[in-house]
Structures are given as structure tokens and as C-alpha cells.
């Protein structure tokens, strides 16, 4: 463990004016509070806060952040209190420690809805003081470095949480080095064999080609010397996880990957960056489409650099990043550069981003979604996405994530423009709305009065703002229909428990569930965002433990006229729990399709045949047949074991057909009788976990007719 004087010495290397007495007091206080506590490894617990503080000194952070690191677990894990920390160390540090404590208590790897709610809280905590998340990231980094001491299941849980949340968050904050290390440490736990295979291939490649990094670095230095440019040149192989991800995304073998080496040129000033670019492109052939100028168009987190990919020695592609020293400091520290010290004073880096402005760009539009799940979807899009820069016809720059479409562009300008968009022109040529925009393109949006968002747009757009606006418009358009449907569903559900639905009951339910009105409750029931049973449970908790209402097989669907016959569509075989719609047939009644059934396309011009339907609330009998396509190993006992797995899930096999027989595998189709979509997921999960199952898919055939 680093002793207090060594820690103070680390701080003094960048901040000679540090308050050494404050750090000593915090060190002693934290050590005393954690006395007798130990980590999984058996080390004294206080070794962890000290290690976190040391990580933060590498980012040259201020005294308050270093002290917070030393105390970050005291309020949660010791007899210390907020009031005691505030009395001894001041309000600023007490609030920082309390903020880290609250983040620690968020279980970000829990269920999706809970994760969404907690992630919103995480970003709101960040918005108050970004140093809270800097301490938390350092805390997670040290925990990942020492994760081997934990139980295997806990290691996987923490690694996935790190990969899903903390690594991309570090990257979005501009702390790329931390993102890469967190990803690599998590990759080591989640897929140790994959990581080892990448490392082995690297070793083999180096043995075959020699020290490529040293050779290319020397080549670049030689060219810069000829041009009289002073600059540092560094090269490295990309991290194992970065290579693995590229292999998966591009579906390429390691031997076919090209740019697995990266080089960085750090200049003294901005003009030299462009001079270096000229030298690189004169000496080596540039790869088309792989040039990005983040100096003229910086990222929201302050990142500035020129990226180019060239064909280097022996035709190998290499990525070169070019930036000035000040740009490099921001690239290494990201938004943390705002608090960084240099030569004893707070660094006045012109490229450092104001944390308050940065967090605003990340969260300013999320509240428009009004839904925790949408919030989680939006913020993950924001964190993971790289950016492209497009222009309006007037020359204004619009930043969009990679993969964005003209629809995203329209919504980025204004929600009204997006809602009324009918087509677009890119560089003067009319294009479909699903076209992916590219860097530097000029986009013109064509609008029309009376146009409104289509449901298919949800699958076209990629930005959180566009998705939220489209969903909101569709909700408003469908609200009346959903309210009427919700009224009927609520009436049936209340009658089943001997209660009567009333405006007062619905207003009380709205208040209990945190919704705005009774109408909102009905609208959410009608849109399947909320179950009628959940409303009953909120109003009458004593009824929640009662057996769930048993739905009769011939009354599974709600929304039909009395006596109107119906049947499930054989093409998509919808089951309770899935969104459904009805299509009327003369002489046949109503055929029930899943809302995403491809066969519905032929009825798009016949809206009079569509009927809004939903499933009755309650426990459905296992009579809803679903087809599953399964590829299994051709080995003794495998088929019997597969049938046993299905039976263990209380599902009945009503038919089984062999589609293809090979020496090493069988392809079979199994028809299973199920209760609902949860029952289907349980069966498919049990089969997917079986090592003898090579492929599994739900069978849907748009060609089957009722």
C-alpha cells in the first residue's frame, strides 16, 4: 500500500501547492475508519481507497477529488456519517463522498427497467459534479484490476456491468485510455479464450514480420525530420478487445484485419498538425473514406485530433492520429482536464470542455422521452456512437451518430421538421429516408403539411431524439384508441376481482404509480405499457397475492364483438403477451396476427379490415402452438434430452418433424403448446443453453394463409 507521504509526493509532481495537511488528515481518517476491514484478497480494505487516489493523481486532479477518493467508502462501509465528514473536511468534499456513495448503491446490472431508472440517477448525479463519476470510474478500474479475488459469478456480473456501462461512459467522457483498459479487463473475464487467442496471434505475427511498430515509427520520424517538423511519434498495437470487436463487426478473421496498429504524432501547435498530415500523405497512400478531422469539428467532450489511415510498410494499413500537445492532454483526460493541474496551477487548456456544458449536451433532450427505458436507450446511443458531420443547405453543421439517416438529420434541426418530413436530398440528389448519411454531405429536408410520423420510422432512425419524438407523436395519435381499449381492459380486470373501475380509482392508481392522470393510466393499459393487473395490485395490494385469473381458451382475445369468431394466424403464431392486431375475413371472422408479422403488408391499403386487439389479462392455458426450428447434434440420446428439456418447462410437444438428416446433425421442426410469451422465452432459453443445440429459431412463414 502507498503510504501517505508517497501519495502526497505524487500530487506534488503536478501541484506543488497541494494542501498536504488535508491529504494527511483524510488518509489517517480513512485508515482508522476502515480498521479491521479486509478485501476478498485478504488485503487491508484501505489499500483500495489509496489505490483509487493514486489512479486519480495520474490525471492530475485537484485536492478535493484526491481526498474524496480516500474517503469514498467511509459513509457506506464504516460508522462515519455525512455530518462527520462535512465537519472535518468541509461541505464540498462531504457532498462528493456522498455522491460516490449513492452511485455505488445503484445496481446498474439489475433488470432492464430498474437499470434504466438507476442510470438516469447516475447521470443526474454526474450533472451536479462530474468529479463524482471520475472517482467512481477510478474505483471501478481498481476493482477490475483486482477482480480475480472475487467469486466467479461476481466477476462475470461486474465485468458485464463494466463493459455495458462504465467503459463506454469513460470513452464518452474522452478518457479513452481508461475505456480501453476497462474493456480489456472485462474482456479477460467474459471471454478469456477469445482474448488469449488474439494475443497468441499477435505473438505469431510479430515473429513473422518483426517489430513493425518500431520500423513504422522510425519511418515517420525520418519523414518529419526531412520536413523540419518537431513532434513526438508513438506506436502501439491495438488492444485485444478492440481487435476482437472489429473481427465480430466485420466478420473477418484475424489474418484479414488490416489496421491493427495505431500511431500517434504529437506536435507543438495546431498548424503543425496539418503539416504533418501533408507529410504522411505524400509519403504513404491514404485509404479513401478513412480521414476524419476532429480539429475543425471537435467532439462534444473536447476531443481534437486528425485521424487518417494509410498503406504503410508492405501494404499494411496503419491508423495515424495527429494532434498538438494541448489537444493530447484533453484526449488523455477528457472532461477531467477541466480540473487538471500543470506546473502547480489549474491548467488553462483552451480545448478543455466545461463539464457543465458537456453534461448538458448528454442529457438535455432525454427528458423529452419521459420514460426510463427510452432514457436508457438514448443515453447508450449517445455513449456508444461515433459521429459524422453533415451540413444544412445554409452551411450549418449538424452532428449525428454514425449510421444516422436524413430523418435523424431532420429531427436534429427541429421536431416539427422531422414530423413533417416526406423526403430528402443529399448533395442535390433525392434519396430514400433510410439512406445512411456520411461525413461532409449536404442534406436538404423536404416537408409537407399534413405529414405525420409513420410507425416504420422507429426502425429507420438511430438517434434518441428522433426515436423519442416519433414515439411521442405516435402515442398522441393513438392515444384516443388506447384510452378506449384501456377502459375495456380495466373494466374486465376489475370485474374479475369483484371491483368496479371508476374515475376515482384510476386517479388514485395514477398517483400511486407516478402517472399524470387517470387517462394516462388507461392509455398505458391500452398500449400494453402497463398491465391492468398492475393497476389492481397498486390499488388493492391484498389482492396481489391472490391466484391469477384463469383465462378461458376461447376468450383469450379482447376487443372482438360479442360472438365474433377468431383464430391465430398460422404465419406468425402470436402468443399472449405479444402485441397483436386483427384482420377481418368474410365468412372466417377475425385472424389474429402479431403486430410485426410480415404478412400484414398486403393489408396496408385496406385499413377498414384492421381491428385493434389485445390479450385478456390473466393466466392463459398452454394451448397456443408455436413452431421452433432446431438444429441438434446427431448423437445417441440428444433428441430425447431435447424433448425432456421442453417437458421440464411444462410445455407439450404437439408435433415433431425431421427436415434434414446429416451424419453430424439433424434439423427438426417442433410444435410446442405454450401459455404466453414468457413461457416461450423459458423454453427457448432452456434449449439455447444446451450444448447439443447448434441453432434455434422461432418459425414464422408469411406464406402460410389462414
**Taking the chain, what is the end-to-end CA distance rounded to the nearest angstrom?**
72
What is the pLDDT averaged over residues 141-145?
Answer: 93
Positions of CATH 1.10.3210.10 in the chain: 4-190
Whether residue 294 is predicted with pLDDT greater than 90 in this model: the reply is: no
Per the model's pLDDT, the better-predicted residue between 214 and 478 turns out to be 214
The values of phi and psi at residue 563, to 5°, are 80, 0
pLDDT of the residue at 141:
93
Kindly give, in sequence order, each residue whose CB lies less than 8 Å from that of residue 249, ignoring residues fewer than 6 positions away. Answer: none
| Residues 76, 704: Cα–Cα separation, whole Å | 60
Whether residue 676 is predicted with pLDDT greater than 80 in this model: the reply is: yes
pLDDT of the residue at 113:
44
Give the DSSP letter of residue 165: I
DSSP letter for each residue of 504-560: HHHHHHHHHHT-S-HHHHHHHHHTTSS-HHHHHHHH-HHHHTSPPPBPPGGG-EESP
**391 is written with which cell numbers?**
451540413
Whether residue 706 is predicted with pLDDT greater than 80 in this model: the reply is: no
552 C-beta neighbours (distance < 10 Å), count:
10
CATH fit for domain 194-346, picks 3.30.460.10, 3.30.1330.10, 3.90.1010.10, 3.40.640.10: 3.30.460.10
What is the pLDDT averaged over residues 349-372?
Answer: 56
| Residues 694, 665: Cα–Cα separation, whole Å | 9
Classify 4-190 by CATH class.
Answer: mainly alpha
Q: Which residues pair with 652 in a beta bridge?
A: 673
| Residues 177, 179: Cα–Cα separation, whole Å | 5
Per the model's pLDDT, the better-predicted residue between 534 and 614 turns out to be 614
Give the DSSP letter of residue 617: S
pLDDT of the residue at 366:
46
Percentage of the chain surpassing pLDDT 90? 26
Helix residue ranges per DSSP H, 228-351: 240-250, 270-283, 325-333
Q: Are 425 and 446 in contact (CB under 8 A)?
A: yes
Per the model's pLDDT, the better-predicted residue between 377 and 660 turns out to be 660
* Segment holding 414, helix H or strand E: none
pLDDT of the residue at 208:
66
Tell me the catalytic residues. Answer: 76-77
pLDDT of the residue at 65:
92
Q: Are 13 and 59 in contact (CB under 8 A)?
A: no
Measured torsion, CA atoms of residues 326, 330, 336, 342, in degrees rounded to the nearest 10: -20
What is the pLDDT averaged over residues 148-158?
Answer: 88
| Most confident range, picked from 46-60, 173-187, 428-442 | 46-60
* Segment holding 115, helix H or strand E: helix 112-128
| Angle value at C-alpha 618, between 612 and 622, nearest 5 degrees | 95
Burial (CB < 10 A; 0-12, 13-18, 19+), residue 541, is exposed
3-state secondary structure of 46: coil
pLDDT of the residue at 112:
46
Percentage of the chain surpassing pLDDT 70? 83
The CATH fold assigned to 624-698 is Alpha-Beta Plaits (3.30.70)
**285 is written with which cell numbers?**
497512400
Distances (CA, A) of 244 to 178, 248, 585: 18, 6, 52
The string of pLDDT tens digits covering residues 529-569 is 777 778 888 887 766 555 566 788 888 898 888 888 899 99
Burial (CB < 10 A; 0-12, 13-18, 19+), residue 8, is buried
What is the pLDDT averaged over residues 37-62?
Answer: 90
**163 is written with which cell numbers?**
463493459
| Residues 37, 76: Cα–Cα separation, whole Å | 13
C-alpha 445: how far from chain center: 29
Whether residue 29 is predicted with pLDDT greater than 80 in this model: the reply is: yes
Q: Are 444 and 425 in contact (CB under 8 A)?
A: yes
Kindly give, in sequence order, each residue whose CB lies less than 8 Å from that of residue 475, ignoring residues fewer than 6 positions away. Answer: 482, 523, 527
Q: Are 383 and 172 in contact (CB under 8 A)?
A: yes
420 C-beta neighbours (distance < 10 Å), count:
18
Positions of CATH 3.30.460.10 in the chain: 194-346
Kindly give, in sequence order, each residue whose CB lies less than 8 Å from that of residue 548, ignoring residues fewer than 6 positions away. Answer: 533, 618, 619
Under the banding of pLDDT at 50, 70 and 90, the label for residue 251 is: low
| Residues 537, 535: Cα–Cα separation, whole Å | 5
Distances (CA, A) of 514 to 71, 336, 371, 509, 638: 36, 36, 12, 8, 50
Per the model's pLDDT, the better-predicted residue between 688 and 250 turns out to be 688
| Residues 157, 16: Cα–Cα separation, whole Å | 41
531 C-beta neighbours (distance < 10 Å), count:
15
| Residues 119, 111: Cα–Cα separation, whole Å | 12
Under the banding of pLDDT at 50, 70 and 90, the label for residue 365 is: very low
The string of pLDDT tens digits covering residues 371-429 is 444 555 555 545 445 567 788 888 777 878 778 899 999 998 888 999 999 999 998 88
| Residues 483, 501: Cα–Cα separation, whole Å | 14
Q: Are 577 and 557 in contact (CB under 8 A)?
A: no
**Paired sense of beta strands 231-237 and 261-267, if any:** antiparallel
**Paired sense of beta strands 306-311 and 610-615, if any:** unpaired
The helix-helix angle for 638-648 and 677-688 (nearest 10°) equals 150
Give the DSSP letter of residue 44: B
| Residues 444, 391: Cα–Cα separation, whole Å | 9
Q: Are 45 and 33 in contact (CB under 8 A)?
A: no
Under the banding of pLDDT at 50, 70 and 90, the label for residue 1 is: confident
pLDDT of the residue at 232:
92
| Most confident range, picked from 140-144, 251-255, 686-690 | 140-144
pLDDT of the residue at 543:
64
Mean pLDDT of the chain: 82
The helix-helix angle for 355-363 and 372-384 (nearest 10°) equals 120
C-alpha 38: how far from chain center: 34
Number of helical H runs and strand E runs in the chain: 29, 22
Positions of CATH 3.30.70.260 in the chain: 624-698
Per the model's pLDDT, the better-predicted residue between 267 and 362 turns out to be 267
Whether residue 109 is predicted with pLDDT greater than 60 in this model: the reply is: no
Per the model's pLDDT, the better-predicted residue between 366 and 332 turns out to be 332
The string of pLDDT tens digits covering residues 210-247 is 677 888 889 999 999 999 999 999 988 778 888 787 77
Least confident of 47-61, 222-236, 453-467: 453-467
**427 is written with which cell numbers?**
448533395
602 C-beta neighbours (distance < 10 Å), count:
10
Give the DSSP letter of residue 602: G
What is the pLDDT averaged over residues 118-131?
Answer: 64
pLDDT of the residue at 345:
58
| Residues 94, 84: Cα–Cα separation, whole Å | 9
| Residues 132, 95: Cα–Cα separation, whole Å | 9
**Paired sense of beta strands 285-286 and 589-594, if any:** unpaired
pLDDT of the residue at 71:
93
Q: What number of CA atoms fall less than 13 Å from residue 632's CA on the CB side?
A: 24
Least confident of 103-107, 181-185, 196-200: 103-107
Kindly give, in sequence order, each residue whose CB lies less than 8 Å from that of residue 208, ignoring residues fewer than 6 positions away. Answer: none
Buried b / exposed e across 327-347, counting CB within 10 Å, b at 16+?
A: bbbbbbbbbbbbbbbeeeeeb
Amino acid at each position: 500500500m502507498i503510504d501517505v507521504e508517497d501519495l502526497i509526493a505524487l500530487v506534488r509532481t503536478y501541484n506543488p501547492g497541494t494542501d498536504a495537511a488535508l491529504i494527511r488528515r483524510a488518509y489517517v481518517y480513512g485508515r482508522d475508519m476502515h480498521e479491521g476491514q479486509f478485501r476478498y484478497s485478504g488485503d487491508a480494505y484501505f489499500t483500495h481507497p489509496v489505490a483509487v487516489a493514486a489512479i486519480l493523481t495520474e490525471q492530475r486532479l485537484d485536492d478535493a477529488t484526491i481526498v474524496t477518493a480516500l474517503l469514498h467508502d467511509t459513509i457506506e462501509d464504516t460508522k462515519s456519517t455525512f455530518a462527520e465528514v462535512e465537519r472535518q473536511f468541509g461541505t464540498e468534499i462531504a457532498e462528493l463522498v456522498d455522491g460516490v456513495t449513492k452511485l455505488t448503491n445503484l445496481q446498474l446490472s439489475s433488470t432492464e427497467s430498474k437499470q434504466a431508472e438507476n442510470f438516469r440517477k447516475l447521470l443526474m448525479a454526474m450533472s451536479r459534479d462530474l468529479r463524482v463519476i471520475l472517482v467512481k470510474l477510478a474505483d471501478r478500474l481498481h476493482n477490475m484490476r483486482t477482480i480475480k479475488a472475487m467469486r466467479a459469478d461476481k466477476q462475470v456480473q461486474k465485468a458485464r456491468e463494466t463493459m455495458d456501462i462504465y467503459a463506454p461512459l469513460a470513452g464518452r467522457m474522452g478518457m479513452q485510455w481508461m475505456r480501453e483498459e476497462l474493456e480489456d479487463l472485462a474482456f479477460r473475464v467474459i471471454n478469456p479464450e477469445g482474448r488469449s487467442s488474439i494475443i497468441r496471434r499477435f505473438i505469431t505475427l510479430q515473429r513473422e514480420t518483426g517489430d513493425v511498430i518500431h520500423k513504422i515509427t522510425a519511418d515517420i520520424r525520418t519523414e518529419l525530420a526531412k520536413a523540419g517538423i518537431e513532434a513526438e511519434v508513438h506506436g502501439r498495437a491495438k488492444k485485444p478487445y478492440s481487435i476482437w470487436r472489429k473481427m465480430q463487426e466485420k466478420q473477418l478473421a484475424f489474418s484479414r484485419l488490416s489496421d491493427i496498429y495505431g500511431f500517434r504524432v504529437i506536435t507543438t501547435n495546431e498548424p503543425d498538425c496539418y503539416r504533418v498530415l501533408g507529410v504522411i500523405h505524400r509519403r504513404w497512400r491514404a485509404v479513401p473514406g478513412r480521414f476524419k478531422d476532429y480539429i475543425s469539428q471537435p467532439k462534444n467532450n473536447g476531443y481534437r485530433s486528425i485521424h487518417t489511415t494509410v498503406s504503410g510498410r508492405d501494404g499494411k494499413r496503419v491508423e495515424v492520429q495527429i494532434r498538438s500537445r494541448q489537444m493530447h492532454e484533453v484526449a488523455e483526460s477528457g472532461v477531467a482536464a477541466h480540473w487538471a493541474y500543470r506546473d502547480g496551477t489549474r491548467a488553462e487548456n483552451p480545448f478543455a470542455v466545461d463539464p457543465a456544458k458537456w453534461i448538458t449536451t448528454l442529457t438535455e433532450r432525454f427528458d423529452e422521452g419521459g420514460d426510463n427505458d427510452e432514457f436508457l436507450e438514448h443515453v447508450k446511443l449517445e455513449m456508444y456512437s461515433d459521429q459524422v458531420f453533415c451540413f444544412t443547405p445554409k452551411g450549418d453543421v449538424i452532428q449525428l451518430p454514425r449510421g444516422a439517416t436524413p430523418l435523424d438529420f431532420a429531427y436534429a434541426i427541429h421536431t416539427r421538421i422531422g414530423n413533417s418530413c416526406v423526403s430528402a436530398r443529399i448533395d442535390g440528389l433525392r434519396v430514400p429516408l433510410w439512406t445512411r448519411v456520411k461525413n461532409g454531405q449536404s442534406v436538404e429536408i423536404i416537408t409537407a403539411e399534413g405529414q405525420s410520423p409513420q410507425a416504420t420510422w422507429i426502425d429507420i432512425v438511430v438517434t434518441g431524439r428522433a426515436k423519442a419524438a416519433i414515439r411521442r407523436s405516435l402515442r398522441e395519435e393513438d392515444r384516443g384508441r388506447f384510452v378506449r381499449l384501456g377502459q375495456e381492459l380495466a373494466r374486465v380486470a376489475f370485474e374479475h376481482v369483484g371491483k368496479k373501475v371508476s374515475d376515482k380509482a384510476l386517479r388514485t392508481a395514477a398517483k400511486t404509480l407516478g402517472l399524470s392522470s387517470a387517462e394516462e393510466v388507461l392509455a398505458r393499459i391500452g398500449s400494453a405499457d402497463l398491465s391492468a393487473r398492475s393497476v389492481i395490485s397498486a390499488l388493492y395490494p391484498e389482492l396481489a397475492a391472490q391466484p391469477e385469473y384463469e383465462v378461458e381458451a376461447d376468450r383469450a382475445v379482447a376487443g372482438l364483438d360479442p360472438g365474433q369468431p377468431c383464430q391465430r394466424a398460422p404465419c406468425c403464431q402470436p402468443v399472449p403477451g405479444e402485441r397483436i392486431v386483427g384482420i377481418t375475413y368474410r365468412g372466417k371472422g377475425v385472424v389474429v396476427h402479431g403486430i410485426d408479422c410480415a404478412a400484414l403488408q398486403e393489408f396496408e391499403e385496406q385499413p377498414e379490415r384492421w381491428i385493434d386487439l389485445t390479450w385478456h389479462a390473466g393466466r392463459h392455458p398452454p394451448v397456443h402452438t408455436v413452431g421452433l426450428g432446431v438444429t441438434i447434434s446427431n448423437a445417441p440420446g440428444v433428441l430425447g434430452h431435447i424433448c425432456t428439456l421442453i417437458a421440464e418447462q411444462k410445455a407439450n410437444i404437439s408435433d415433431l418433424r425431421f427436415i434434414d438428416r446429416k451424419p453430424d446433425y439433424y434439423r427438426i421442426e417442433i410444435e410446442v403448446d405454450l401459455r404466453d410469451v414468457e413461457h416461450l422465452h423459458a423454453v427457448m432459453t432452456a434449449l439455447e443453453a444446451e450444448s447439443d443445440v447448434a441453432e434455434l429459431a422461432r418459425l414464422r412463414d408469411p406464406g402460410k394463409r389462414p
